Amino acid sequence: MTKSLLAGSALALAAAGATSMYAMATTQDDADQARGIIKTFATTLQGELKGAIKSGGPVNAVWVCEEKAPAIAAQLSEQTGWDVGRTSLKTRNAALNTPDAWEQTVLEQFESRKANGESPKGMSYASVVETDGGKVYRYMQAIPTQQVCLACHGKDLPPDLAAALDKAYPEDQARGYSVGDIRGAFTLSKPL
């Protein structure tokens, strides 16, 4: 959520009373927590990927995404009380990363925002969603494609890497990206 949207929301909530201001402060704190968790997730995963690539090239990095990325997300979920993951319109691991309806809508909004000139770097969206179990705070942050990402997510992959990806992810759709594309998003949620 952009600062201008947060400011506009704060003004609207201020008119609604003190309870709403508490809700706004809570969701701002939640957004800050979510960004911190994402930073930890991204930094940890990038370190694992760089180490794997350095020791055995991009083919060696496939197992990091297959094994380590879900483990990092699970560990962060356990440590923080948030449900932490990644999703995309073009999934690599459909079993773990297929977007739900809310995520699909947000990912499509991200693409629209990018098409209208907004940089995907730091692009995010948050909302409180009513579920059968109560209110849930949901937060997503776009993952912009960087040059290093193209080794495994680009258009022209070496045959050995393509074969390793095909073996690990038979339904892989996460290829064909260019620098600056939105490769997906970090997605976090927690009950309120």
Assign residue 184 a region: left if phi > 0, alpha if psi is -120 to 50, beta otherwise?
left
| pLDDT at residue number 2 | 41
Among 18-27, 45-54, 130-139, 173-182, name the one with the lowest average pLDDT. 18-27
Residue 145 has pLDDT above 90, yes or no: yes
Ranges of beta strands (E only) in 21-165 are 83-87, 124-131, 134-144
| pLDDT at residue number 140 | 97
Query: What's the pTM value of the predicted model, to 2 decimals?
Result: 0.83
pLDDT tens digits for 62-86?
988 889 999 999 999 999 999 999 9
Tokens found for residue 151:
């080794």
State which residues form the domain around 151.
3-191
Q: How many domains is the chain partitioned into structurally?
A: 1
Contacting residues for 71 by C-beta, under 8 A, at least 6 apart: none
Tokens found for residue 56:
């055995």
Most confident of 23-32, 44-53, 57-66, 136-145: 136-145
| pLDDT at residue number 148 | 83
